[in-house]
Amino acid sequence: MKMTIFSTPLLTPLLRFVSQLILRMIGWRVVGQVPDHPKYIWIGAPHTSNWDFMLMLALGLCLRSKLQFMGKAELFRSPFGFFFYWCGGIPVDRSKSTGMVEQMIKVVQDTDEINLAIAPEGTRDQVNKWKSGFYHIAKGADIPIVLGFVDGKRKVVGVGEIFNLTDDMETDMKNIQAFYAEMEGINPR
């Protein structure tokens, strides 16, 4: 794995301390633990604000997880592209509507350890239906899903349960979404 914000000697412990301090100062709590599993998809929901990215980084630092995330390819261009790579980013070309799931399954299969954060809404805007790419990646790579969350109403960011997929996608999706039913994002509108 490349050196990221989660694995940079000397800097990572300092950033962990700063993250914990800032979260405490602004009234946010971190709850849960990352699983002792080398590979999983980490759902990040509800995703309603650009601040979710900062909370994801803080959560990864506080819980000592080496998160990675998929981001639109435009983020990885100069002059700030190096920053998103360093934060664990994997560029995705959203202009192509095919092959992303298969590409990510291959990335997961070709690595020994990956904690891939995905926002199932696919946008910060209000959506009525989640995209199912995260589900297909987890199913295709045969890895579990971790229910990560941002709850702006309670000012809590954290990790819930591990969800192992069955062969019934519709029921799995209902059960996963039920976990998030009472949560509000930072910007609920």
pLDDT per residue as tens, the chain (189 positions): 589 999 999 999 999 999 999 999 999 999 999 999 999 999 988 877 888 889 999 999 999 999 999 888 898 998 989 999 999 999 887 676 668 888 889 989 999 999 999 888 755 556 577 888 899 999 999 999 999 999 999 999 999 989 999 999 999 999 999 999 888 888 766
User: From CA 189, how far away is CA 183, in angstroms rounded?
Assistant: 13
Rounded to 5°, angle at Cα 147 from 128 and 157:
95
- The rounded Cα 85 to chain-centroid distance in angstroms is 15
Q: Note whether 64 and 169 are within 8 A (CB).
A: no
User: From CA 43, how far away is CA 118, in angstroms rounded?
Assistant: 5
**Would you say residue 185 lies in a domain?**
no
**Would you say residue 1 lies in a domain?**
no
User: From CA 63, how far away is CA 158, in angstroms rounded?
Assistant: 9
The predicted structure's pLDDT at residue 2:
83
**Would you say residue 5 lies in a domain?**
no
**Would you say residue 23 lies in a domain?**
yes
Q: What are phi and psi of 97, to 5 degrees?
A: -90, 0
Domain that includes residue 114, residue range? 11-179
**Would you say residue 4 lies in a domain?**
no
> For the chain, what is the domain count?
1
**Would you say residue 34 lies in a domain?**
yes
**Would you say residue 3 lies in a domain?**
no
Q: Note whether 45 and 118 are within 8 A (CB).
A: no
Structure tokens that stand for 188 in this block: 């609920």
* pTM confidence score: 0.87
**Would you say residue 92 lies in a domain?**
yes
